[in-house]
């Protein structure tokens, strides 16, 4: 090795400037979404309506859905027909799905009337809308794998819709195995990823200000003297 092969000491990067992909991504993350922005202890004062609770209610409903779904997955697709505990677990899954969609619908209408896409928040709306559509697909496949009359009838009827536009060639709702895999693996993964993106965007952009909010930074107090 010659001296020219040795790294130059004066060329070493400063500790503040990352040189690896990991370091650069970490630096980007810390710059765009630092911990105090990710998990803030304050919110704008206008975030004080019950309507803001429905986003959180939707997420915790999803948590209940996932937990009960995991228990049902461990039991197997037919377990809940023969076990009273399994049937109760299915009932928890069923009602948490009903609550999930109820809360999400209220959340959606709330965000619509707040025109919550203002201020470069369009992607927040779009990811939320896609999350709802993916959730509908996930719930639909859940109905298909109940292994009872309802799932037979829904599969029989819905096949015509997918077949009519050629999708039945790829997504066969009467293929129980394919629907099980979609419901417990593929679609929940999609919903999970899109919900995480949605929540991160909410934190990144912040909660949209009131449509007619005043500009506090450029507001000055003046005193009027009665003439």
Partner 1 sequence: MMSLRHAPTQDLDSRPWDGPTRHYDIFKEGAIALVIVTVLVAALAAIFSSPDDKQLTFKSWAQSSPDSMYTTMVAELAGTSDTYNYGPPYNNNSEGLSVGPIAMQKWMGVTHPINASQDFVIKPLESQTMSADVKAAVDQWNAATPEQQTQWASNYDTALNDAAGANGDPAKVPTGDYGPTSVLAQAVVDMAKTGAYDGAIMQGQFFSTDQTKQMLLMGDGSYMDDIATTDNLQGNTWGMVNEAGSWPGQMWLAPFSFWYQLPAFNNTDPNNTFAQTLTDNADAIIFAIMMVVVLIFVFVPFIPGLRSVPKWIPVSRLVWKDYYREYGRR
Within 133-152, the residues that bind partner 1 by CB under 8 A are 133, 136, 139-140, 143, 146-152
- Annotate 158-185 with b (16+ C-beta within 10 A) or e (fewer): bbeebeeeeebeeebbeeeebbbebbbe
For 116, which DSSP code?
T
Residue labelled with tokens 């009337």: 113
Do 208 and 118 form a contact (C-beta atoms < 8 A)? yes
Of the residues 33, 99, 106, 197, which one makes contact with partner 1 according to CB under 8 A: 99
Binding mask 51-70 for partner 1 (x = CB under 8 A): x-x--xx-xxx-xx------
Residue 192: which region, alpha, beta or left (left: phi > 0; alpha: psi -120 to 50)? Answer: alpha
Restricting to residues 208-227, name those near partner 1 by CB under 8 A. Answer: 208-224, 226
Segment interacting with partner 1 (CB under 8 A) among 2-10, 25-33, 50-58, 188-196: 50-58
Segment interacting with partner 1 (CB under 8 A) among 10-18, 23-31, 160-168, 189-197: 160-168
Separation CA 167–CA 144 (nearest Å): 17
Of the residues 18, 75, 168, 192, which one makes contact with partner 1 according to CB under 8 A: 168
Helix axes 84-113, 122-144, angle to 10 degrees: 150
Of the residues 23, 28, 87, 189, which one makes contact with partner 1 according to CB under 8 A: 87
Q: Is 34 in the site for partner 1 (CB under 8 A)?
A: no
Q: Is 82 in the site for partner 1 (CB under 8 A)?
A: no
Restricting to residues 5-24, name those near partner 1 by CB under 8 A. Answer: none
Of the residues 101, 186, 192, 200, which one makes contact with partner 1 according to CB under 8 A: 101
Separation CA 89–CA 30 (nearest Å): 41
Separation CA 198–CA 179 (nearest Å): 26
Restricting to residues 173-202, name those near partner 1 by CB under 8 A. Answer: 174-178, 180
Of the residues 115, 189, 193, 196, which one makes contact with partner 1 according to CB under 8 A: 115
Phi, psi of 220, deg, nearest 5: -120, 145
């Amino acid at each position: 090795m010659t001296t020219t092969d040795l790294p130059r000491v004066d060329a070493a990067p400063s500790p503040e400037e990352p040189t690896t992909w990991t370091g650069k991504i970490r630096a980007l993350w810390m710059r765009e979404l630092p911990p105090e922005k990710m998990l803030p202890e304050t919110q704008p004062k206008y975030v004080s309506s019950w309507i803001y609770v429905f986003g959180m209610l939707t997420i915790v409903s999803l948590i209940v859905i996932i937990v009960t779904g995991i228990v049902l997955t461990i039991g197997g697709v037919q377990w809940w027909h023969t076990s009273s505990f399994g049937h109760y677990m299915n009932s928890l899954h069923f009602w948490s799905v009903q609550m999930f969609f109820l809360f999400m619908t209220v959340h959606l209408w709330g965000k619509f009337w707040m025109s919550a896409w203002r201020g470069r928040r369009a992607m927040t709306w779009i990811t939320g809308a896609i999350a709802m559509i993916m959730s509908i697909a996930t719930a639909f496949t859940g109905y298909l794998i109940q292994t009872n009359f309802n799932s037979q009838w829904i599969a029989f009827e819905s096949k015509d819709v997918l077949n009519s536009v050629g999708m039945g060639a790829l997504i066969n709702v009467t293929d129980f195995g394919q629907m099980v895999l979609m419901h417990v693996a593929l679609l929940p993964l999609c919903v999970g990823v899109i919900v995480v993106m949605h929540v991160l965007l909410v934190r990144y952009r912040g909660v949209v200000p009131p449509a007619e909010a005043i500009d506090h930074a450029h507001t000055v107090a003046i005193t009027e003297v009665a003439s």
